[in-house]
Amino acid sequence: MPRSQELDKMEQGHQKEDVSMQSFLIVALGLAILTVIFALQNAIPVGVTFLVWKFEGSLALVLMLTFALGVLVSLLLSIPAILKRRSAISNQKKKIEELANRLRESIPPSR
């Protein structure tokens, strides 16, 4: 493939990444605006008691902290599965490389 075609493909890939990043930023900004509106509309103070811990804050703050805590717990619980998957992928890549080397060694060079 000529060099100019390779550069064109790379440029198209970067353009797709730029559009993807812009889309993500637009969605994130929209969510931030909705969160602010939610917080302003739900400023009612509520009390939360958990065992010996007591906290009082706006309803929006309590809900957002609860959501953030749920996200954090789910991420922490998924770490072992992620590590196991990465290890399996690494082992499979090593095995593929080993098999490719054995295949190269067993096939005589063409003349």
Q: Where are the beta strands (DSSP E) in the chain?
A: 45-50, 53-58
- What's the rounded Cα separation, in Å, for the pair 72 and 81? 15
DSSP conformation class of 110: P
Lowest-confidence range among 17-26, 27-36, 98-107?
A: 17-26
**CA 71, CA 76: separation in Å to the nearest integer?**
9
**Residue boundaries of the structural domains of the chain:** 1-41, 59-111
Give the model confidence (pLDDT) of 38-58 as tens digits: 888 888 888 888 888 888 888
pTM, full prediction: 0.55
Residue 10 has pLDDT above 70, yes or no: no
Residues forming a β-bridge with 49: 54
Q: What is the pLDDT of residues 76-97, one digit of tens each?
A: 999 999 999 999 999 999 999 9
